[in-house]
Amino acid sequence: MGIMDFFRKKDTSKDIAKDRLKLVLIHDRADCNTELLEMIRADILEVIKKYMDYDEREMDIKIGTTDSETSNSPVPALFANIPIRNIHKPR
């Protein structure tokens, strides 16, 4: 499930509650609030728009954890899978 899934229309209140719970867990893991996550997402997409067209429906941006290279504990990580439709030619 990607961050864009939170903005799609849900079929049942069960689906909505499930997604809200997942979003809360993501925020707790990353130690950042909803506004910060949305600002990060918007900034990433704004930069990408300068260089290429992408498929927003198939895009998946999420925050999870990965193993640290310097310690034995997991650290927050931003994962992005953004399908590219077209790369803009340099001006």
Annotated domain spans of the chain: 3-87
Which residues have C-beta within 8 Å of that of residue 43, sequence separation ≥ 6?
none
The predicted-structure confidence for 27-50, as pLDDT tens digits, reads as follows 565 666 667 777 887 888 889 888
Tell me how far the alpha carbon of residue 46 is from its chain's centroid.
14
Question: DSSP string covering 59-83, please?
Answer: -EEEEEEEE-SSSSSEEEEEEEE--
Instruction: Give the global pTM.
Output: 0.51
The distance in angstroms from the start CA to the end CA of the chain is 36
The predicted-structure confidence for 36-90, as pLDDT tens digits, reads as follows 777 887 888 889 888 999 988 888 887 777 888 887 777 777 788 889 999 988 7
Reduce the DSSP state of residue 50 to 3 states and report it. helix
C-alpha to C-alpha distance for 85 and 75, rounded to whole angstroms: 32
